Amino acid sequence: MRVGIGYDSHRFGTEGPLVLGGVRIPECAALTGHSDGDAVVHALIDALLGAAGLGDIGVRFPDSDPALQGADSILLLAQVVRLLAREELEIRNVDVTVVAEAPRLAPHREAMRERLAATLGVSPSAVSLKGKSNEGMGWIGRGEGIAVHAVALLGPAGTASRSMRE
Ligand code: MG
């Protein structure tokens, strides 16, 4: 088994929609970034690449690449999933914590789990998403942006128990 950790943070811009975990949340301001600013997907990509020993998101998808301007981060995640398959690695589960004062994660959690699980090729039960406020402290508390922590567990392809694939 191989474990990886990922972290990302993005600042809120002025206009929506927010894209988080591959789900559009129109009532919230978008996160600024070279791509669509999806900090959940970016942290997940780093956790997966870290577990596989395949570098990091900045190396794979440099923000100097004009082709990635406004890119759909879910498509970048799909590329990483293909990289893992090439290495004969399979995702066992991922766990994500989103730290933000807004939006509340709960109303969007199931949609995010399903979108991420479909992209990762795992059951939604293998994708955990948790939301935390920062209790009003610091830059997150002031609503300036979002921070995301992610971990991913990988195993050799073809050895997952059936419950993990369902
Ligand atoms: Mg990012």
Cis peptide preceding 124, ω within 30 of 0: no
Backbone angles phi, psi at 37, to 5 degrees: 75, 20
pTM of this structure: 0.94
pLDDT digits (tens, 9 = 90+) for 131-163: 999 999 999 999 999 999 999 999 999 887 655
How far, in Å, is the centroid of ligand 1 from the Cα of 47?
13
The beta-carbon contacts of 137-142 under 8 Å, at least 24 apart in sequence, are: 140/99, 140/100, 140/101, 141/101
Residue 120's closest CA among 41, 57, 5, 58?
Answer: 41
CB 36 within 8 Å of CB 20: no
CA–CA gap between residue 124 and residue 118 (Å, rounded): 8
How far, in Å, is the centroid of ligand 1 from the Cα of 59?
12
How far, in Å, is the centroid of ligand 1 from the Cα of 163?
31
Residue 82, pLDDT > 90, answer: yes
pLDDT digits (tens, 9 = 90+) for 86-124: 999 999 999 999 999 999 999 999 999 999 999 999 999
How far, in Å, is the centroid of ligand 1 from the Cα of 30?
13
How far, in Å, is the centroid of ligand 1 from the Cα of 138?
20
Residue 48, pLDDT > 70, answer: yes
CB 6 within 8 Å of CB 44: yes
DSSP-assigned states of every residue in 41-90: HHHHHHHHHHHHT---HHHHS-TT-GGGTT--HHHHHHHHHHHHHHTTEE
Q: Residue written as tokens 């893992």?
A: 84
How far, in Å, is the centroid of ligand 1 from the Cα of 34?
8
How far, in Å, is the centroid of ligand 1 from the Cα of 148?
9
